[in-house]
Amino acid sequence: MNRRQFNKRLTQGLAGTALVSSVPLACAMGGDGGKKGSLGIALVGLGSYSTYQLAPALQETVNCHLAGIVTGTKEKEKIWAEKYGIPEKNIYNYDNFDTIRDNQDIDIVYVVLPNSMHAEFSIRAARAGKHVICEKPMALSVEECDAIIKACTDAGVKLAVGYRLHSEPYTQEVKRFVKEKTFGEVLYVSAEAAYRSVGNPDQWRLNRELSGGGALMNMGVYSIQSAIYSTGQNPVAVTAQEFSTRPDYFRDTDETITAQFQFPGGAVGNIFTSHNANANSLYASCTRGWFSLKPANNYGPLAGESANGILTFPHQSQQKLQMDDFASHILYRTENRAPGEMGKRDLIIVEAIYRSIAEGNKSISLDLGNMGLV
All residue ranges of the chain with pLDDT < 70 are 1-36
Q: Note the pLDDT of residue 123.
A: 98
Global confidence as pTM: 0.91
* Cross-strand bridge partners of residue 309: 306
Q: Is 118 exposed, middle or buried (0-12, 13-18, 19+ CB in 10 A)?
A: buried
Q: Would you say 38 and 73 are in contact if contact means Cβ atoms under 8 Å apart? A: no
Rounded CA-CA distance 6/304 in Å is: 42
Nearest in space to 369 (alpha carbons), one of 355, 348, 340, 352? 348
Rounded CA-CA distance 142/355 in Å is: 14
- Cα dihedral: 132, 137, 140, 145 (round 10): 40
| Other residues' Cβ atoms within 10 Å of the Cβ of residue 56 | 15
Nearest in space to 188 (alpha carbons), one of 281, 278, 279, 260? 260
Q: Would you say 102 and 111 are in contact if contact means Cβ atoms under 8 Å apart? A: no
Hey, do 3-162 and 165-316+337-365 end up sharing a CATH topology, with the first three levels equal? Answer: no
Rounded CA-CA distance 251/259 in Å is: 22
313 DSSP assignment: -
DSSP string, 47-107: SHHIIIIIHHHTTT-SSEEEEEEE-S-HHHHHHHHHHHT--GGGEE-SSSGGGGGG-TT--
Q: Note the pLDDT of residue 202.
A: 87
Nearest in space to 291 (alpha carbons), one of 191, 155, 165, 150? 191
Q: Note the pLDDT of residue 295.
A: 98
Phi, psi of 338 (to 5 degrees): -140, 70
Q: Would you say 58 and 83 are in contact if contact means Cβ atoms under 8 Å apart? A: no
DSSP 3-state of 194: strand
Rounded CA-CA distance 333/136 in Å is: 23
DSSP 3-state of 283: strand
Q: Would you say 275 and 194 are in contact if contact means Cβ atoms under 8 Å apart? A: yes
Q: Would you say 274 and 215 are in contact if contact means Cβ atoms under 8 Å apart? A: yes
Q: Would you say 257 and 244 are in contact if contact means Cβ atoms under 8 Å apart? A: no
137 DSSP assignment: S
Separation in Å, CA 349 to CA 200, 225, 236, 345: 29, 10, 10, 6
Q: Note the pLDDT of residue 37.
A: 82
Domain boundaries defined on the chain: 3-162, 165-316+337-365
Nearest in space to 89 (alpha carbons), one of 101, 79, 103, 77? 103
Q: Angle at the Cα of 216 (from 136 to 112), degrees rounded to 5? A: 20
How many Cα neighbours within 13 Å face the side chain of 142?
8
First to last CA, the chain: 41
Would you tell me which CATH number, out of the four given (3.40.50.1000, 3.30.70.580, 3.30.360.10, 3.40.50.700), belongs to the domain 165-316+337-365?
A: 3.30.360.10
Model confidence pLDDT, tens digit, residues 241-299: 999 999 999 999 999 999 999 999 899 999 999 999 999 999 999 999 999 999 999 99
Would you tell me which CATH number, out of the four given (3.40.190.10, 3.20.20.120, 3.40.50.720, 3.40.50.2000), belongs to the domain 3-162?
A: 3.40.50.720
Rounded CA-CA distance 151/122 in Å is: 8
Separation in Å, CA 238 to CA 153, 318, 354, 374: 31, 30, 10, 21
